Structure 1
Amino acid sequence: MTGPGTNTYLLGNEQVAVLDPGPAIPEHIDAILAAGGDRIRWIVCTHTHPDHSPAWLAVAEATGAEVIGALAEDDRFQDKTFRPTVLLEHNWVLQTPEFTLRGLHTPGHVSNHYCFLLEEEGMLFAGDHIMNGSTVVIVPPGGDMKAYIESLELLLDYPLRTIAPGHGDVIQQPREEVAGLVAHRLARERKVVSGLAGLGQTGLDALVRVVYDDVDPARHEWAKLSLAAHLIKLEKDGRARHFVTDDSWEAVASGG
């Protein structure tokens, strides 16, 4: 689901920040240390899913670097080893003689997700908020579709020139990419509403075949995770109702 692997970025020359150290694979850790060595001062994590943060420990032990990130409640997918020395807040800034890195709280994929703007370059390190060549899966309860769309819209307030995703190649047209992602999610939401209207009270198994009829059925189990996130958003918006007894859903008429 995440292409060729997780991208780890090293920022700076004299003093280095490692952004998303990645999984605790010995060869990967060795490559980070070979590239940054004793110049590594900071380890910065976009979030704590196990393909993004676990190498923090080995790199921190080898270098004494500060560990910067945010914590999330366990949603079955968290790096339980993660222990930041600096807890992120929205608009946190790392200022060095070489670069300025600004942390932007972008919940949605998971509650503790941050993107980081390299201000001098206008480059956004997007973690799993935006991927190149793959759709971001939103997995409740840690994932929140309403927050995800709002976080995408937030990025349009910043002077982006490129996006460096957590997976895939650098994206050269950032504003078009972000606007396209928002449009895609809202179009999918309209299909959810239409599907509920057509099927009546229904469960995820039937609804996913209608809403994701453009997706290979082999991927429908993954699609059901994002479908659930769409339904929860619609419930928050007063446009869908959840029946806990049989885990089914129905549309709520306007004003109903």
Structure 2
Amino acid sequence: PAGAGQDQTFRADDEPEHGDLIVTEAGVLKVLHTPGHASNHLCFLLVDQQLLFSGDHIMQGSTVVINPPDGDMKAYIESLYELLAESVRYIAPAHGFLMGHPEAVIDFLITHRLSREHKVARALGALTPVDLKALTAKAYDDVPAAIHGLAARSALAHLLKLEAEHRAFREGDLWHAIHES
């Protein structure tokens, strides 16, 4: 979804697709479709230098906001796993500084997200059925209450991932855990 400050009339002359190779003066860029933060997010890998321009997919010093409906936690985590298959020596994020040890950076992000998912799933199991606000308060009890509004968007992204994996479902404003038998 476009924000209020975005040009609704803009149409790109060319829209690269996953796997496309773009020849530049700096070398060949490989296009990597990395949905999650946004459904149309792309990263670009400068192949010879093994330099990944990660845009908003990976940031230095903080985690990326995954805000449904365009933000998708399941797609985000899957995109991170797919990046591990690429030959990357450095990550150049849109926010922050150049990062070395890309496997460690990506492993940390996956672990962080799955750890939070575990907290969301445990809170859902304990409180089911529960509304988003109460679930957020329990699953994000380690973050200041002042940012629980933003945390609720992330909690929703995790719940939608659990729903896609048949581990949760929603009825009206209440979320329910699906207990494995």
Name the TM tier (shorter chain).
over 0.9
* Matched residue SS, 1:86: coil
Unaligned runs of 5+ in 2: none
Give me the whole-angstrom Cα distance separating, in 2, the residues matched to 1:158 and 1:95.
18
Spell out, residue by residue over 1:109-146, the C-alpha distance to the aligned partner (whole angstroms, 9 max, x if none): 11000000011211111111011112111111101110
Alignment partner, residue 36 of structure 1: none
Give me the whole-angstrom Cα distance separating, in 1, the residues matched to 2:26 and 2:117.
43
Alignment partner, residue 82 of structure 1: 10
1:167–1:116 distance in 2 versus 1, CA, 3 Å: same
Number of aligned positions between the proteins: 180
Q: Which has the higher contact order (CA 8 A, sep 6+)?
A: 2
* Matched residue SS, 2:104: helix
The alignment status of 1:154 with 2:82, answered yes or no, reads yes
- After TM superposition, list the pairs within 5 Å mapping 1:23-34 onto structure 2: none
* Matched residue SS, 1:125: strand
The alignment status of 1:252 with 2:178, answered yes or no, reads yes
Alignment partner, residue 122 of structure 1: 50
Structure 1 residue 97: Cα displacement = 4.7
Structure whose alpha-carbon radius of gyration is higher:
1
Kept in 1, the 8 Å contact 2:66–2:72? The answer is yes
Alignment partner, residue 153 of structure 2: 225
Structure 1 residue 164: Cα displacement = 0.6
- After TM superposition, list the pairs within 5 Å mapping 1:35-46 onto structure 2: none
* Matched residue SS, 2:52: strand
Give me the whole-angstrom Cα distance separating, in 1, the residues matched to 2:45 and 2:156.
30
The alignment status of 1:108 with 2:44, answered yes or no, reads no
Kept in 1, the 8 Å contact 2:159–2:168? The answer is yes
Structure 1 residue 210: Cα displacement = 1.2
Give me the whole-angstrom Cα distance separating, in 1, the residues matched to 2:37 and 2:79.
10
Alignment partner, residue 243 of structure 1: 171
Kept in 2, the 8 Å contact 1:75–1:141? The answer is no
Kept in 1, the 8 Å contact 2:117–2:158? The answer is yes
TM-score normalized by the length of structure 1:
0.67
Alignment partner, residue 205 of structure 1: 133
Give 4+ residue runs of structure 1 displaced > 4 Å after superposition: 75-79
Unaligned runs of 5+ in 1: 1-73
The alignment status of 1:131 with 2:54, answered yes or no, reads no
Correspondence for 1:174 among 102, 113, 138? 102
TM-score normalized by the length of structure 2:
0.94
Spell out, residue by residue over 1:17-74, the C-alpha distance to the aligned partner (whole angstroms, 9 max, x if none): xxxxxxxxxxxxxxxxxxxxxxxxxxxxxxxxxxxxxxxxxxxxxxxxxxxxxxxxx3
Structure 1 residue 80: Cα displacement = 2.4
Give me the whole-angstrom Cα distance separating, in 1, the residues matched to 2:142 and 2:35.
27
Structure 1 residue 96: Cα displacement = 3.0
Give me the whole-angstrom Cα distance separating, in 2, the residues matched to 1:224 and 1:199.
16
Structure 1 residue 82: Cα displacement = 3.0
Amino-acid identity (%)? 49
* Matched residue SS, 2:36: coil
